Structure 1
């Protein structure tokens, strides 16, 4: 068996928030992880869809980013973006 080659193996302190809210069309069950690793961005996991993205304010301004990352329609993406902008990234 060959020797395992690690690119990195770090342990960091994180701040983890579990939040659930109901939008107009769907429920959002999120895990939001803040760490120093991603240059001020947060890791947002959607428990319902098993999808995640590393998100910063610049990503919320990118057309279609949230829709693609979470495989949701534009209306739901706008609700999620508003939540993240107001509650997480401010």
Structure 2
């Protein structure tokens, strides 16, 4: 649930895992592991991520609707500078 919501919030802000990691002072691979549910994290870490994402801490604990798929990721590759 936490990972699903982290990805939902991150994608809504159009941030890559790398960008979110840099802004939050965390390794991008750690962000990915949280999103995949392979890493447990602390409330303090979630508070930092919530601050960067401009979301309340409670947003990480929203229960997805039954049958909901993981939010789609960002388009791969670099963003256009145009």
- Would you call these one fold, judging by a TM-score over 0.5? no
Higher-Rg structure is 1
- Bigger relative CO (Cα 8 Å, ≥ 6 apart): 2
* TM-score, with length taken from structure 2: 0.30
| Between structures 1 and 2, the one with greater helix share | 2
Q: More strand per residue: 1 or 2?
A: 1
TM-score by length of 1: 0.29
